[in-house]
Amino acid sequence: MKLTDLTPPQRWLVTGALLALSAGYGVALLNLHFTYSMYDGRPGLTAEDLKRAFYGRRTVTRLAAKIDGGSMEQFLPNPLDKAKILNWLQDGASRETFDKVVSPILADKCWRCHNPAGFMYMRPMQTYEEVMEVAVVDRGEPPPVWARVAHTHLQSIALIYFLVGLVFSATSLRERIKRSYILEAGYGISTL
């Protein structure tokens, strides 16, 4: 079967579904770029960024991976501050050392964003318990996080649009009514 063998409503349906899937794929690529492009500490999205994000750096903790060659290293310009945190992690991450040495550094350099009302609200780092959540071996992001936000929804909507439209295009309604419905539904998806 060729595309030219399809009825006009079916051709519009296939075209609309492909456009919606393309938009979802484009948003997915933008999401990858903006979310993971600094994981290796350098601008631009690279294979190393994706490896660090999804596989992790399994020889160090998540915190160490971020501040030593990762995306958060830029916020610790003083090498001594970074060394203190890395030493604390390597020496067992005790609460006492956290309160005396690590917490003041985090308060000065990290709390501006890493607090419940900050830009990184999803990863607060103000208490020992919160920091210990990232003081574990870096195994990358868990699979449920991989399918983030809008691109998944756009692709799902495109698939639903295609399946419902395919059934609708096989009805006995007049071609003009089917074409009108498919065009209107496709326009509705494009304005989401």
Q: 124 pLDDT exceeds 90?
A: yes
pLDDT at position 147: 63
DSSP alpha helix (H) spans, the chain: 8-36, 47-54, 62-67, 79-90, 95-97, 103-109, 128-132, 143-146, 149-169, 175-190
Of 11-15, 89-93, 139-143, 186-190, where does mean pLDDT reach its minimum? 186-190
pLDDT at position 112: 95
pLDDT in tens, 21-59: 888 778 778 888 888 888 887 888 888 888 888 888 888
What is the C-alpha separation between 87 and 174, in angstroms, rounded? Answer: 74
pLDDT at position 92: 93
Q: Which of 19-28, 66-75, 154-163 has the highest mean pLDDT?
A: 66-75
Place of tokens 């079967």: 1
What is the C-alpha separation between 25 and 17, in angstroms, rounded? Answer: 12
pTM of structure? 0.58
Q: Which residues pair with 61 in a beta bridge?
A: 137
Mapping DSSP to helix (H, G, I), strand (E, B) and coil, where does residue 137 land?
strand
Q: What is the chain's mean pLDDT, rounded?
A: 84
Distances (CA, A) of 78 to 68, 70, 142, 169: 12, 15, 31, 65
pLDDT at position 87: 96
Name the phi and psi angles at 171, rounded to 5.
-75, 170
Place of tokens 């998806």: 189
Mapping DSSP to helix (H, G, I), strand (E, B) and coil, where does residue 43 land?
coil
